[in-house]
Amino acid sequence: MVAAPGKRKTDDLIIVDADIHVNDTPAALTPYMTQPWRKSLEVMGGGTSYLNVPGFAPALKLDPPIPGGHPSRSVHTPAEMRQGLDELGIDLGVLFPDNLLLFAVLPNIEYATEISHAYNRWLVEEWLREDNGLYGAIVACPQNPHDSAREIARYAKEDKVVAVYLPTAGVHPLWGDRKYDPILGAAQAANLPVMLHSVTVVTPQFPYQLDQFENHWARQMLSHAFAMQANLVSLMHTGVPARFPELKVGFTEAGIAWVPYMIWRMDKYYNEYRRMIPFLEKRPSEYVRDRMWFATQPIEEPDDPRDLVATIKLYDPDGSRTLYASDWPHHDFDHPKGLLKLPMSPEMQRNIMGASALELFGIPAPVRK
């Protein structure tokens, strides 16, 4: 059974957005920053431009400015965010940063640690205190895993902290490295999923060789999905799913079409090189289907939408491991109407649009008034 395009198939459908972004400028975080680094944020102020703030969100911008491009768009307050989500028909949302998507490339450990503290305090105090359907992912500091473990324990009792954001763009080493065990162990103990989130960045770290492409079209097309694939293999090849048997892992802003390919490829080489990874007691695909989730944005758009549904079913037959995500308010956000048009069953639609996220994040379903 399929519904008319753009129609909800059930009256009780809850839409949960697994990836929305707040405007985390240096000026916003300044009141929550400790000295002497607070002075640095005061100098930066509002920043120069989106994802291009030296010393805060450092990015190597290689392309010349071209008039008529997409304008940057940010959300500054919870009320503004709630209004935007209401207009999209979204009930609940999980907040991620904007500028701190580039957090992993900051080289100074003490400074990065204090930035992570300031962001987490700012997020909780200014975005998560109201009963407005907004939840948040605190940032983990890959530069200082032991401190991040303490941060996770500190915020674990906050009802509206529902995840730990793992900065993925330019992270070195990748997230399967054992240096991050304190972060993963603390997230498991707190029953908080870890959410990898990437962004396009030119860096000596993975994904390599983005600097060799002449324009952002090519870099954008490759960076997100490649970074997620590499980190998924990194988690698997060091046995993270076996060593942390209750840890839940999410992958955001990389689409979903790459997932079946990676499952098949990992299983193939698991069969061939099984002696090299004896700590994996099950095939990689089983770990993926048991405890990993994948957010839709930017959703692939094949000519025949049935092909997209078939692709999802290859790794997630009932939609219980797939999360709707919009990436709001970025210009390339995915409206929920796009997924509502897909020819899938009411159960699959209910899971993807919200039920899967409610389960993953431990969020209670809102009561309809």
Per-residue pLDDT of the chain (369 residues; tens, 9 = 90+): 333 334 444 457 999 999 999 999 999 999 999 999 999 999 997 666 777 888 898 887 777 877 877 777 788 999 999 999 999 999 999 999 999 999 999 999 999 999 999 999 999 999 999 999 999 999 999 999 999 999 999 999 999 999 999 999 999 999 999 999 999 999 999 999 999 998 888 888 777 788 888 888 888 888 889 999 999 999 999 999 999 999 999 999 999 999 999 999 999 999 999 999 999 999 999 999 999 999 999 999 999 999 999 999 999 999 999 999 999 998 889 999 999 999 999 999 999 999 999 999 999 998 866
Report in angstroms the alpha-carbon separations of 165 from 111, 294, 327, 353.
18, 14, 15, 21
CB of 151 closer than 8 Å to CB of 119: no
pTM: 0.94
Q: What is the pLDDT of residue 277?
A: 94
End-to-end Cα, the chain, rounded Å: 28
Q: How far apart are CA 257 and CA 310, in angstroms?
A: 10
Q: What is the pLDDT of residue 181?
A: 98
CB of 85 closer than 8 Å to CB of 20: yes
Q: How far apart are CA 40 and CA 58, in angstroms?
A: 14
Domain borders along the chain are 16-53+73-361
Q: How far apart are CA 121 and CA 217, in angstroms?
A: 36
Q: What is the pLDDT of residue 58?
A: 86
CB of 51 closer than 8 Å to CB of 21: no
**Coil, strand, or helix at residue 128?**
coil
Q: What is the pLDDT of residue 2?
A: 35
Q: What is the pLDDT of residue 52?
A: 81
Q: Which CATH class is domain 16-53+73-361?
A: alpha beta
Backbone angles phi, psi at 96, to 5 degrees: -125, 160
**Burial of residue 192 (number of CB atoms within 10 Å: 0-12, 13-18, 19+):** buried
Q: What is the pLDDT of residue 47?
A: 60
Q: How many beta carbons lie within 10 A of that of residue 317, not counting itself? A: 11
Q: How far apart are CA 202 and CA 37, in angstroms?
A: 26
Q: What is the pLDDT of residue 327?
A: 95
Q: What is the pLDDT of residue 369?
A: 64
Q: Taking all residues of the chain, what is their mean pLDDT, rounded to a whole number?
A: 92
Q: What is the pLDDT of residue 10?
A: 45
